[in-house]
Structure 1
Amino acid sequence: MRMPTVFIDGDQGTTGLQIHERLRGRTDFERVTLAASERKDPRRRAQAINECDIAILCLPDAAAREAVGFIRNPDVRVIDASSAHRTQPEWVYGFPEMGEGQAQRIARARRVTNPGCYPTGAIALLRPLIEAGLIPHDFPAAIHAVSGYSGGGRAAVDEYESPDGACAAPFKVYGLALEHKHTPEIQLHSGLAHRPFFVPAYGAYRQGIVLTVPLELRLLAPGVSGERLHACLDRHYAGARYVEVMPLADARETAHLDPQALNGTNDLRLAVFANAERGQVLLSAVFDNLGKGASGAAVQNLGLMLAA
């Protein structure tokens, strides 16, 4: 039986290098690579893409669209780690735990679009609760997230890790024009009727995300509580290998959230913090923006597609 081949286009970027590292030692496929002198040659890239079984695109959006345009071989399957196709209906959204049957859809798909880092946490929290009717579709959702600076790509990494990196700001809130490219993706795949209010930030650490969604119980249906919200998430992710829901008892004893707690893994930890007296709940997600938020998710999706 022929060994399947996998080509990573853009394998020297942050996500591509992490995927290489996560695939180290795997023997269930053959890895196709280009020489350094050929990595930006459109002809050689097109040839490699059309000759492989699965192409993983770790490219800026425009370059990812270009790479997809190279494809002439109908048997080539694609995992796109860029944001170029995340709201396109003909692409399968690569979040296996998002809903029933999603892992199977990914396994069979020709075109899979990897979720963005921030959307991974936001959708993981919101979609099950919206589908269950505990949060209304037209809820005015507000989302705040702090990522390690690697989320800003090579330019941000160079800024913080250069000899002058000590001068970089310890904390940056950005996206102040309220046009962050992840917002439509969050709205679509979480099931929100209206655009959420999304406030992203970078901290002076390399990787890891804490994402939070505040809820006022008075804006939800009568009887919705922190316990019911937690129970819904717990049911939805029961048995999920890479997603855990913190027990309510543990949440009550938690004084802070560390964005780096799950670095180096493909894990996603969700929690519900409730203050019944104040009528407020805080939903949270902690994960590695280079793991479940990027390379880890791509490798997870690759595993599903190879096993199909």
Structure 2
Amino acid sequence: MASTVFIDGAAGTTGLEIADRLATRPEFELITLGEDRRKDDAARAEALNAADFVILCLPDEAAKAAVGMIRNDTTRVIDASSAHRTAPGWTYGFAEVIGHEAIAGARFVSNPGCYPTGFLGLVAPLVRAGLLPADWPYVCHAVSGYSGGGKALIARFEAEPDIAYRAYGLAMGHKHVPEMKTHAGLAHDPIFAPAVVPAHRGMLVEVPLHLALMDKAGSADELRAALAEFYAGSPIVTVAPDAPGELLLLRSMEPNDGLTLRVVGAADGAQARMAAVLDNLGKGASGAAVQNLNIMAGLDETAGLRL
């Protein structure tokens, strides 16, 4: 029998892409609300409590309120907002880093943020292995397609075609920072410098490293080899062996649920640049939610993904 799934916030960018990935899946039956009922709390509460799985694609406070509307002890929840990514009682839904078993047995799973997926995919395994120090003041530079900002930012970029680059979060304190610090096991908040470029989707996350100044850091080759070993056998995360002269985000990028990691070192070994390339709407949002849903339902984690 198919498991029932209710996407609360199905009209948003993330919700639409999740629904699209589930549309042809016989393992799941979507509970949907008409346009006149999708913001009706009584109708939402009924759907939240009727579903085997709920995927929340809502602003943070609305996601917390939705969880509070669940009155049973059986509905399992995947929250795509940032509301529960460091909250007690929630399992962080980065399967490759946290472990598939933890997600498979969890009732409440918080979907990782798009930028943290790139940062943690690079940093967390290396800190855990002792090849990067936990007490280093890390910096993370990142650019994303404008779809990551939701409908308002999409509308702005489409209405203002002269925008070439939008840096934001300049006052620090971005909501992704606690997630990045906590799940990488860091002693200090990383400096996070996000930006948006005029492409609908796609993301590049970079972590530059002063290897020569770090205590007991691995070489670039050792870092790359450790990542390759950590993700060996993953159908979703790839560690590239090459050192390209450039990395590009293309405006024509098709939906993709994979994650590609790279480590490039200076000739003298003193510095390195680690980079993650992903689709902010794929492994950075909707693809990760579907992967977590698959794992929680006991299915092949790649079912319905675009790889």
Give the superposition deviation at 1:259. 2.8
Change (3 A) 1:194 1:263: farther
1:161 correspondence with 2:158: yes
Q: TM-score scaled by structure 2?
A: 0.94
Aligned to 1:30: 29
Letter of the aligned partner of 2:176 in structure 1? Answer: H
Match of 1:113 among 87, 110, 113: 110
Q: TM-score scaled by structure 1?
A: 0.94
Aligned to 2:170: 176
Unaligned runs of 5+ in 2: 300-307
Aligned to 2:181: 187
Provide the C-alpha distance between the structure 1 equivalents of 2:145 and 2:9, rounded to a whole number of angstroms: 21
Match of 1:307 among 277, 290, 298: 298
Aligned to 2:136: 139
Letter of the aligned partner of 2:161 in structure 1? Answer: A
Change (3 A) 1:39 1:130: same
Aligned to 1:292: 283
Aligned-residue Cα RMSD (Å) equals 1.3
Give the superposition deviation at 1:23. 1.2
Provide the C-alpha distance between the structure 1 equivalents of 2:9 and 2:60, rounded to a whole number of angstroms: 12
Letter of the aligned partner of 2:107 in structure 1? Answer: R
1:286-305 CA deviation, whole Å, 9 max, x = no partner? 00000000000000001111
Give the superposition deviation at 1:262. 6.5
Equivalenced residue count is 298
Provide the C-alpha distance between the structure 2 equivalents of 1:59 and 1:272, rounded to a whole number of angstroms: 35
1:6 touches 1:52 (CA, 8 Å); kept in 2?
yes
2:78 touches 2:109 (CA, 8 Å); kept in 1?
yes
Report the secondary structure of 1:285's partner residue.
strand
Report the secondary structure of 2:23's partner residue.
coil
Change (3 A) 1:222 1:6: closer
Provide the C-alpha distance between the structure 1 equivalents of 2:28 and 2:254, rounded to a whole number of angstroms: 26
Letter of the aligned partner of 1:74 in structure 2? Answer: D
Provide the C-alpha distance between the structure 2 equivalents of 1:143 and 1:51, rounded to a whole number of angstroms: 41
- Runs of 4+ in structure 1 displaced over 2 angstroms? 219-224, 259-263
1:17-52 CA deviation, whole Å, 9 max, x = no partner? 011111121101211000110000001100100011
Letter of the aligned partner of 1:286 in structure 2? Answer: V
Unaligned runs of 5+ in 1: none
Q: What does residue range 43-58 of structure 1 map to in structure 2 within 5 Å?
A: 43-58=42-57
Letter of the aligned partner of 1:259 in structure 2? Answer: L
Letter of the aligned partner of 2:25 in structure 1? Answer: R
Give the superposition deviation at 1:223. 6.7
Provide the C-alpha distance between the structure 1 equivalents of 2:83 and 2:254, rounded to a whole number of angstroms: 26
Match of 2:256 among 254, 257, 265: 265
Provide the C-alpha distance between the structure 1 equivalents of 2:254 and 2:90, rounded to a whole number of angstroms: 28
1:226 touches 1:276 (CA, 8 Å); kept in 2?
no
1:65-123 CA deviation, whole Å, 9 max, x = no partner? 01000010110000000000001121000001004xx1111111100000000000000
1:264 touches 1:291 (CA, 8 Å); kept in 2?
yes
Report the secondary structure of 1:283's partner residue.
strand
Report the secondary structure of 1:178's partner residue.
coil
Provide the C-alpha distance between the structure 1 equivalents of 2:128 and 2:254, rounded to a whole number of angstroms: 30
Change (3 A) 1:209 1:223: closer
